[in-house]
A and B are shown apart, each in its own frame.
Chain A
Amino acid sequence: DAKTTQPNSMESNEEEPVHLPCNHSTISGTDYIHWYRQLPSQGPEYVIHGLTSNVNNRMASLAIAEDRKSSTLILHRATLRDAAVYYCIPDHAGGTSYGKLTFGQGTILTVHP
């Protein structure tokens, strides 16, 4: 399984962009990179996922390095509601229908008013 490395914590100010890094140097060529977040006292929430190209959705952008050994989740304008633990997860699904997600420790994001 690919090992991921994320900072234990990061801080940001409200309405500023946030770049959350993740290293996954042992990722295989078919593993997608998923990002989830967990707000306090809630279950994890899907944020975004991608394979090689950069991806955008209404919540965030995902920038994937050309060698795929790292990726960055970008929150364009942080709000207080973005304070959460962010998890970067290579999926190891291999194209099967029975994908499992293995969560690491994640990055605790604190957003200051």
Chain B
Amino acid sequence: DQQVKQNSPSLSVQEGRISILNCDYTNSMFDYFLWYKKYPAEGPTFLISISSIKDKNEDGRFTVFLNKSAKHLSLHIVPSQPGDSAVYFCAASGMDSNYQLIWGAGTKLIIKP
């Protein structure tokens, strides 16, 4: 029973366009959400996070949107660059998980030149 779902295993986007990666969660007690990025043969690296008291957080080309009523968050990358090609993991945390991170399965983003 996956509490954090990333339903698109892969996504292909043209360089310069917007990449939108989606994440759904089932546990309404989650109150903090994070995105990590992973290149092959490396460990994940932190990208951006958002608390449930916000609905948007921005950091340069990366913006995360949170829709609590829909239990949905999305990561927008604008403009997409070749170096953005990686696997993106969504993770959630809350009281029910003892504040440990519950991870989605990841979405592989491919930026086409």
A, B: real partners: no
Q: What residues of chain A have their CB less than 8 Å away from a CB belonging to chain B? A: none
Residues on B lying within 8 angstroms of A by beta carbon are: none
